[in-house]
Amino acid sequence: MTRSITVELGERSYPILIGSGLLQQIGGLCREVGYPQRSPLLVVSDSEVAPLYLAAVEASLTAAGYTVVSHVFPSGEASKSLTVYEEVMTTAIQGGLDRRSAVLALGGGVVGDLAGFVAATYMRGIGFVQIPTTILAHDSSVGGKVAVNHPLAKNMVGAFYQPSLVLYDLDTLQSLPPRQVASGLAEVVKHGLILDREFAYWCLEHAAELLALQPEALGYALERGCAIKAAVVAGDEREHGQRAILNLGHTIGHAIEAVGGYGAFLHGEAIAIGMAGSALLAARLGRDQAIYTDTVAMLTALGLPVRLPVEYTEEALMEAMMHDKKFKEGQMTFIVPDSIGAVSIVDDIRQEDVRGVIAQLQKEGSPW
Amino acid sequence: MTRSITVELGERSYPILIGSGLLQQIGGLCREVGYPQRSPLLVVSDSEVAPLYLAAVEASLTAAGYTVVSHVFPSGEASKSLTVYEEVMTTAIQGGLDRRSAVLALGGGVVGDLAGFVAATYMRGIGFVQIPTTILAHDSSVGGKVAVNHPLAKNMVGAFYQPSLVLYDLDTLQSLPPRQVASGLAEVVKHGLILDREFAYWCLEHAAELLALQPEALGYALERGCAIKAAVVAGDEREHGQRAILNLGHTIGHAIEAVGGYGAFLHGEAIAIGMAGSALLAARLGRDQAIYTDTVAMLTALGLPVRLPVEYTEEALMEAMMHDKKFKEGQMTFIVPDSIGAVSIVDDIRQEDVRGVIAQLQKEGSPW
């Protein structure tokens, strides 16, 4: 079964397809989207994903009558740089991409962000298709945020640019290592925690099936996760306000990533600790203690960490947070749960409370 | 007197102010636009313009309560690179620009294009103000095309991004060298040639005043030029169709720039020869021979070249044109005058006719 969701953004609306065997249909789908066969297509992928799936994508596109150019870069966050960006641009120019061409991002979040920024800026914007191959990318492939990193700060150089199509082939998820599965599920359950109580508890009940990549459960979870994100994005495409609720757990999470070096914790692991921290913050602000208990139950059921190793010191984390771009004009803003499935944007959080939360997160032994 | 035009683009509409003494008002105008004083502003300029006007801009912004960061790069097309782009990004980050900050482009087209691409992509897009200091920039500052060059092709990396305000201080034009004045007037008269017969002949009659930078004539010419461009852009913001008429003379013009090396002819000079070529093409397609005669009269009155030096060979120019991004899917498209003040987009131009036009352009001695 193929599930379909539409991200409603007026003339920039686009469908997300979720199902099995979709990679083999990409050529026909590109024709349905309206990309002309005379304009070359560029597939961007990384050194981990390309050996597994690039040939299938190229074959489907070629069979549909397209000329295909590919660019494969070393996997990892270090590739999300202006240097690799320029190299992909070079491939696009040498491959003869024109204004009616499209860029297809085959891979996880790094591939999607980088290829999306190429699509957004090659000849001032050409077609863009996302083919996420990680669970985590269900998040980054909805919402149109594309970017590369600057040596001084993550995601500092980018754009809002919507794809014409997101193609989620569940078959590509079967090869994911367990830690990456759990990391991806952190963003899935986050969407329940911010807006859908029933779905959050559904994730708790079906954690084992999700970790086992059981297609029915996984398809449903991705559909709900994408749908919730799509609804938030549709209401606030350029992140002027409400879209910030998607950042639940991300302020502390980004600080953990910055202090530990990107890669020590996976992104989903870092934001899981951040979401546990947000629930502790909620308790400090007088909200129900059960928010923390249930949040931790959900995260641990999904194999995610909820505590901080002691080497992540309070000072280092606070300093990293003060540099976070989400603190506009020097105030500390956090997304705070009101209950499981509802959050508020609170912009007058006291530094003492944040320090207190960090101390609490560090109290007990292992992060898992 | 300050003239004001509005570029009508729905929620992205913005005003163009043209007059004397405007640089000294930039601080107050930024507050009117709504930029908060707590968010730093970045002024981008080049080594030719900064010594003349940067201090005045900084003083006005500081007096209005803003923190100001400046980035000055070497003047010239070579600076419109991803390398300089990254350097400006570094200045922006180190200067603490946040999502409510703005980039002010103080200079000609290179400054506007580069600073605009920074504004379009810093934190996925922040505020943008254009302060053009050349006549040529009246063209590039309207329409939202921003870009840098790739080593393999000009303007290949960019975006459509509209400023919040364009501020045209006529005082800054007084220091322009005569060749740059004429080059800028090429785009001014182009706007008459494509859409406003009366204005085209007005330019012919007032050529001497324009070349002498007489403020009343210059203010009117810039107002008409901007207004015509704004009307075309408003109808086709992302260049899907009709906006292409703005490229009158640019196909041959770009080829001349590519073959001669950027800088041999100034941009306006190259497109002047291109516009003479377009008029010759019109004659080959059976349109009135007077189009050519009058076009040449206007261009020469404005001190612009209308012939090709012989070292620009037919083969080199044809090859450069075949690489021009305006030839989508291999067909040759030209903007062809139907009369003075009216043009058509003709997409089935035969190569023989283009070759014939080049030969005709080369027939006589000096380009001027």
Is the CB of B329 less than 8 angstroms away from the CB of A38?
A: yes
**pLDDT score at B191:** 97
Q: What is the pLDDT of residues A25-82, one digit of tens each?
A: 999 999 999 999 999 999 999 999 999 999 999 999 999 999 999 999 999 989 999 9
- Which residues of chain A have a Cβ shorter than 8 Å from any chain B Cβ? 36, 38-39, 82, 85-86, 89-90, 93-94, 98-100, 120-125, 145, 147, 150-153, 156-160, 238-239, 325, 328-330
In this structure, chain A runs to a length of 368
Residue B114 tokens, joined: 């580069």
* Cβ atoms of residues B16 and B230 within 8 Å: yes
Long-range own/partner contacts, residues B295-300 (CB < 8 A, 24 or more apart)? B295/B193, B295/B337, B295/B340, B297/B204, B298/B189, B298/B193, B298/B200, B298/B201, B298/B203, B298/B204, B298/B207, B299/B186, B299/B189, B299/B272, B299/B275, B300/B368
CB contact under 8 A, B325 and A150: no
Count of pairs with CB atoms under 8 A, one residue in A, one in B: 93
State which H helix or E strand residue A199 sits in: helix A197-205
How much is the ipTM here? 0.89
Give the per-residue SS3 of chain B. CCEEEEECCHHHCEEEEEECCCHHHHHHHHHHHCCCCCCCEEEEEECCCHHHHHHHHHHHHHHCCCCEEEEEECCCHHHCCHHHHHHHHHHHHHCCCCCCCEEEEEECHHHHHHHHHHHHHECCCCEEEEEECCCCHHHHCCCCEEEEEECCEEEEEEEECCCCEEEEEHHHHHHCCHHHHHHHHHHHHHHHHHHCHHHHHHHHHCHHHHHCCCHHHHHHHHHHHHHHHHHHHHHCCCCCCHHHHHHCCHHHHHHHHHHHCCCCCCHHHHHHHHHHHHHHHHHHCCCCCHHHHHHHHHHHHCCCCCCCCCCCCHHHHHHHHHCCCCCHHHCCCEEEEEECCEEEEECCCCHHHHHHHHHHHHCCCCCC
State residue A151's pLDDT score: 92
d(CA A62, CA A56): 10
How many Å separate Cα A156 from the centre of its chain?
A: 16
Sort out which chain B residues have CB atoms less than 8 A from A144's CB and list them. none
pLDDT given for residue A357 in this prediction: 95
Q: Please name the residues in contact with B89: beta carbons below 8 A apart, sequence gap of 6 or more.
A: A150, A156, A157, B118, B122
pLDDT of the residue at B212: 96
Task: Compare CB distances from A82 to B82, B159, B330 and report the shortest one's residue.
Answer: B82
Option in A90, A152, A330 nearest B152 (CB): A90
Checking if the pLDDT of A142 tops 70, the result is yes
Residue of B nearest to A144 (CA): B124
Task: State residue A49's pLDDT score.
Answer: 96
Q: Is B86 close to A86, i.e. CB distance below 8 A?
A: no
Q: A232-248 pLDDT, tens per residue?
A: 988 887 777 889 999 99
Q: Report chain B residues whose CB lies below 8 A from the CB of A150.
A: 86, 89-90, 93
3-state class (DSSP) for residue A160: strand
Closest-approach residue (CA) in chain A for B331: A38
Section A257-283 average pLDDT: 91
End-to-end CA distance of chain A: 35
How many CB atoms sit inside 10 A of residue A238's CB? 13
Q: Where are the domains of chain B?
A: 3-175, 178-362
Chain B residues in contact with A239 by the CB 8 A cut-off are 124
Query: Helix B290-301 to helix B267-284 angle, to the nearest 10 degrees?
Result: 170
The confidence score (pLDDT) of residue B289 equals: 94
Distance CA B32, CA B108 (A): 24
pLDDT band at residue A138 using 50, 70 and 90 as cut-offs: confident
pLDDT digits (tens, 9 = 90+) for B247-297: 999 999 999 998 987 668 999 999 999 999 999 999 999 999 999 999 999
- Cα A161 from Cα A29, distance rounded (Å): 20
pLDDT band at A116 (very low <50, low <70, confident <90, very high): very high
Smallest Cα distance from A157 to chain B, Å: 5
- Amino acid (one-letter) located at B313: T
Q: Please report, in tens digits, the pLDDT of each residue of chain B (368 residues total).
A: 899 999 988 888 999 999 999 999 999 999 999 999 999 999 999 999 999 999 999 999 999 999 999 999 999 989 999 999 999 999 999 999 999 999 999 999 999 999 999 999 999 999 999 999 999 988 888 889 999 999 998 899 999 999 999 999 999 999 899 999 999 999 999 999 999 999 999 999 999 999 999 999 999 999 999 999 999 988 887 777 889 999 999 999 999 998 987 668 999 999 999 999 999 999 999 999 999 999 999 999 999 999 999 889 999 999 888 876 545 455 689 999 999 999 999 988 998 999 999 999 997 655 66
pLDDT tier at A90 (50, 70, 90 boundaries)? very high
User: Which of B150, B152, B158 lies at the smallest CB-CB distance from A124?
Assistant: B158
Position A263 scores a pLDDT of: 65
- Residues of chain A neighbouring B96 (CB-CB closer than 8 A): none
Tell me which amino acid residue A174 is.
Answer: Q
Closest CB to A325 among B98, B150, B158: B98
Catalytic residues of B: 124, 145, 187, 229, 239, 243, 247, 250, 254, 267
pLDDT at A139: 87
Query: Which CATH code for domain A3-175?
Result: 3.40.50.1970
Tell me, what's the pLDDT at A364? 60
Number of CB atoms found within 10 A of residue B321's CB = 22
Q: What is the set of active-site residues of A?
A: 124, 145, 187, 229, 239, 243, 247, 250, 254, 267
Q: Which of A83, A103, A121, A233 to mutate against chain B (most B CBs within 10 Å)?
A: A121
Q: Look at A39 and B329 and tell me if their CB atoms are within 8 Å.
A: yes
Is domain B178-362 annotated with CATH 1.20.1090.10?
yes
